[in-house]
């Protein structure tokens, strides 16, 4: 199913975060995951995009989904709990206290969370919400997302996956 235009801004931000997860996974697989490089980048991404993204979802998207059906209320509760858990992992990065296991756990949890929102929540909302309600939601999301930067953070030379030199 194509993504409804009113949910596309959130989906674009999801793509940014998934790209981060892929880069982390590749670095881990290549045994090249320097925590001193990744933690500041994770903190920066949280501060520049994810914090506002979570807030917009919690203020606008989740309440709209809960009004639709009990099934979505249960899903929203799971997603809200995942936001709390992910905030804890972002805080570990900000405090520079992530271990290699924490970094891997972070990438796995963030990726799974995004896929759950995209494949379950967004799909259900698109099927169940009348078009005019989706339009109202889209306007509210645009307003909520406008308070934060919307630029994608590009990888730096130090965070790109590099060939191993051995």
pLDDT of residue 69: 86
- Within a 10 A sphere around the Cβ of 75, how many other Cβ atoms? 19
For the chain, the domains span 8-145
* 42-65 mean pLDDT: 96
pLDDT tier, 157 (very low <50, low <70, confident <90, very high otherwise): low
pLDDT tier, 148 (very low <50, low <70, confident <90, very high otherwise): low
pLDDT of residue 84: 98
Residues 18-23: contacts with CB within 8 Å, 24+ apart? 18/111, 18/114, 20/45, 20/107, 20/110, 21/107, 21/108, 21/110, 21/111, 21/114, 23/155, 23/159, 23/160, 23/161
pTM of the model: 0.86
Q: Which residue has the tokens 């590099």?
A: 162
Tens digits of residue pLDDT in 13-42: 999 999 999 999 999 999 988 999 999 999
Looking at the structure, give the CATH architecture of the domain made up of residues 8-145. Answer: Up-down Bundle (1.20)
- Within a 10 A sphere around the Cβ of 53, how many other Cβ atoms? 23
Tens digits of residue pLDDT in 74-88: 999 999 999 999 999
pLDDT of residue 163: 44
* 117-138 mean pLDDT: 96
């Amino acid at each position: 199913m194509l993504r409804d235009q009113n949910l596309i801004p959130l989906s674009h931000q999801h793509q940014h975060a998934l790209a981060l997860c892929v880069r982390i996974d590749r670095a881990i697989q290549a045994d090249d995951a320097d925590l001193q490089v990744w933690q500041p980048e994770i903190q920066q991404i949280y501060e520049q995009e994810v914090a506002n993204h979570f807030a917009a979802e919690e203020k606008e998207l989740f309440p709209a989904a809960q009004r639709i059906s009990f099934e979505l209320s249960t899903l929203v509760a799971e997603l809200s709990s995942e936001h709390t858990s992910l905030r804890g992992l972002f805080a570990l990065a900000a405090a520079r206290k992530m271990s290699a296991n924490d970094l891997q756990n972070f990438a796995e949890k963030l990726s799974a969370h995004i896929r759950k929102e995209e494949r379950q929540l967004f799909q259900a909302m698109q099927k169940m919400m009348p078009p005019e309600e989706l339009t109202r939601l889209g306007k509210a999301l645009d307003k909520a997302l406008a308070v934060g930067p919307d630029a994608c953070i590009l990888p730096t030379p130090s965070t790109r996956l590099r060939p191993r030199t051995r």
